[in-house]
């Protein structure tokens, strides 16, 4: 376990966070990452493998600068064929983002099943969990509260830090709120314990 603790130390210094973003195909993961990074989202193909984005994230509370973090966001494709690759990315994940297409009611069962499986993973047991109830701009989308109910989030393991946030990668609404919580939660676990 020696190497792991060394890596942890280095991470602390650089204030790096490793964030894994998964969810069913078509849920909007790639759109979210590009949007939060201020990039063009008008032409996005379904993800064949995975992408990684490095984003510098500065945190202010009431205009006071209180931290600068480097987020390494792994955006892994959600098509059925490549879901089996997800597990390759579990190691050392600080934060997990699960993205839901709130307008795709038919596949909510699938969505719940895949999330349940993910949360059984020992290697992810320490990760903070952010659930994005995406596509809130679409008329007919379920609200975050409804999604929480369908996914039965209240039944989650009590030790898990989690939060669900409604968002739209289309308008950008909710994205910062979600990331703020995630970064804050990870930081309070990892960096402030020193």
Ligand X SMILES: Nc1nc2c(ncn2[C@@H]2O[C@H](COP(=O)(O)OP(=O)(O)OP(=O)(O)O)[C@@H](O)[C@H]2O)c(=O)[nH]1
Active site residues: 79
Residue 12 binds other proteins (CB under 8 A)? no
* Sole window of 52-60, 64-72, 76-84, 110-118 interacting with ligand X (rule: CB under 6 A): 76-84
Residue 52 binds ligand X (CB under 6 A)? no
Residue 100 binds other proteins (CB under 8 A)? no
CA distances from 26 to 16, 40, 68, 88, 103 (A): 28, 18, 31, 21, 11
Residues 36-75 that bind other proteins (CB under 8 A): 37, 39-40, 42-46, 48-54, 56, 74
Residues 87-126 that bind ligand X (CB under 6 A): 99
Radius of gyration of the chain from its Cα atoms, rounded to whole angstroms: 16
The residue (of 28 and 178) whose beta carbon lies closer to Mg ion is: 28
Pure H helices in 144-174: 144-150
Q: How many CB atoms lie within 10 A of CB 146?
A: 15
Residues 8-27 that bind ligand X (CB under 6 A): 23, 25-27
Question: Can you give the binding site for ligand X, defined by CB under 6 A?
Answer: 23, 25-31, 44, 46-47, 77-79, 99, 134-135, 137-138, 168-170
């Amino acid at each position: 376990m020696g190497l792991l603790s060394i890596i942890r130390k280095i991470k602390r210094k650089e204030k790096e966070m490793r964030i894994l973003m998964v969810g069913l195909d078509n849920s909007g993961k790639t759109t979210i990452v590009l949007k939060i990074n201020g990039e063009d989202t008008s032409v996005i193909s379904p993800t064949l493998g995975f992408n990684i984005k490095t984003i510098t994230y500065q945190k202010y509370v009431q205009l006071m600068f209180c931290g600068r973090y480097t987020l390494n966001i792994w955006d892994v494709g959600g098509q059925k064929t490549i879901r089996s690759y997800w597990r390759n990315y579990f190691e050392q994940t600080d934060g997990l983002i699960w993205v839901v297409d709130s307008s795709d009611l038919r596949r909510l069962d699938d969505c719940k099943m895949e999330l349940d499986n993910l949360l059984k993973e020992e290697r992810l047991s320490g990760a903070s969990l952010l659930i994005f109830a995406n596509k809130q701009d679409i008329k007919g989308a379920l609200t975050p509260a409804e999604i929480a109910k369908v996914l039965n989030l209240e039944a989650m393991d009590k030790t898990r830090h989690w939060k669900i946030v409604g968002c739209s990668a289309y308008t950008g609404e909710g994205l910062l709120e979600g990331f703020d919580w995630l970064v804050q939660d990870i930081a309070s676990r990892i960096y402030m314990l020193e």
